[in-house]
Amino acid sequence: MFDRLMPKEGKYFELFNSHAVLIVQGGAALTALIDALVNNPEKAVEHADRIDEIERAADAITHDTLSQLHKSFITPFDRDEIHQLINGMDDILDIIQDVAESMALYDIQRVPADALGLAAVTAKSCVLVGSVVNLLHSMDNAPEILKHCHEIDELESEADRMLRSAMSKVFREEPDVRQVIKLKEMYELLESVTDRCKDVAGTIEAIVLENS
């Protein structure tokens, strides 16, 4: 009887993992969108719609996690860290959606092939975030978690370098000022995905160092 009255921990790790799956899917959908704009523009809308669908599903998980947080007395780690983690994960998909929306808003019909390289780095970052989140249920995984967090940091640095290189090329080779402005926005948003992945890695690293 007493056990039934005790507060439950809640299914936090299931929620985190479900959200992480969507982050990986979002990164893949973003790469597919960029690839379509480079090689097959008529498919771009399909991938943008898929990104919207993924982002809505992630919002629902974020809402469920925060609702659970208000109901739970016992949590797997600090409440502020749970709040920061799930919101940081949601930020990744928000930025991915921003990339897709900016392409529609600015009517970007063509992008340089260099954008595919940057999109691939963002997708790798999303995959690593998914891997790290899936390891978070046990502090026995701390060494592997910290290794992946370092790899996410390295990818963010790589994306910074690719952004600078791509923009340098655009400024040198693109004669249309309007196209320069559009591509600058797109490239910066793409790079921002890796920034948000790095933020999540930082949150997870702090959780691990505090609890392991």
Instruction: Kindly report the CATH number assigned to the domain that includes residue 74.
Output: 1.20.58.220
Residue type present at position 96: I
Q: Considering the domain boundaries, does residue 140 fall inside one?
A: yes
Reading the chain (212 residues) residue by residue, the pLDDT tens digits are 334 433 445 589 999 999 999 999 999 999 999 998 888 888 888 999 999 999 999 999 999 999 988 887 788 888 999 999 999 999 999 999 999 998 888 888 778 888 999 999 999 999 999 999 999 999 999 999 999 999 999 999 999 999 999 999 999 998 989 889 989 999 999 999 999 999 999 999 999 998 87
Rounded CA separation 139/119 (Å): 31
Asked if the structure places residue 1 within a domain, the reply is no
Q: How many domains does the chain have?
A: 1
Q: Are the beta carbons of 98 and 189 closer than 8 angstroms? A: yes
Q: What is the DSSP letter of 100?
A: H
The pTM of the whole model exceeds 0.85: yes
- Locus of tokens 């997708």: 123
Question: Is residue 2 domain-resident?
Answer: no
User: Under a CB-based contact definition with an 8 Å cutoff, are residues 62 and 156 in contact?
Assistant: no
Residue 96 located in a structural domain: yes
Structural domain includes residue 162: yes
Q: Is 157:195 a contact under the CB 8 Å cutoff?
A: no
Contact between 152 and 198 under an 8 Å Cβ cutoff? The reply is yes
Residue 94 inside a domain? The answer is: yes
Q: What residue type is assigned to position 164 of the chain?
A: R
In a domain, 4, yes or no: no
Structure tokens at 82: 């749970």
Task: Find the domain containing 171 and state its range.
Answer: 9-211
